[in-house]
Amino acid sequence: MFFTGGFPEVRGVGQGAELWGLLFAAGPPLARGEEVKIVWRMTGEGPLRVKATLPDGTPAKLAWGPEEHGGSNWHKPGEEWGTGFVFPKRGCWKIELTRTRGSGYVWLPVK
């Protein structure tokens, strides 16, 4: 976990890609039932697909996105997208990001 300008950053585990997330929240753990904005930077090629699940298979609601961003002042490798998630239950959520070439994931705790 890193902090940039007051927002926590997470570095994902990538396969054929580098992955970073910027959490627009006070920080993990995130609050269940509330929408949280997460901006992603990911290398690779192709469109981005995103999903979040608990180990028991419970899915999070993707409230919006992924929306491609033209740029920002957050400097990490790759293209940038924004997402909005609502996590319905407490637990450790696996967020998986996939492109045509490259994939990755991060684990985020929700209280």
Domain around 98 = 2-110
Strand, helix or coil for residue 73: coil
Strand, helix or coil for residue 110: strand
Q: Residue 30's pLDDT is what?
A: 96
Give percent above pLDDT 70 in the chain.
95
Average pLDDT over residues 11-33: 95
* Count of the separate structural domains present in the chain: 1
Q: Over the stretch 45-70, which tens digit does the pLDDT of each residue have? A: 999 999 999 999 999 999 999 999 98
DSSP, res 31: P
Q: Residue 70's pLDDT is what?
A: 86
DSSP, res 60: P
CATH of the domain at 27: 2.60.40.1930
Q: Which pTM was predicted?
A: 0.93
- State the Cα–Cα distance between residues 97 and 106, nearest whole angstrom: 9
Nearest to 70 by CA among 83, 58, 79, 62: 79
Residue 41 scores a pLDDT above 80? yes
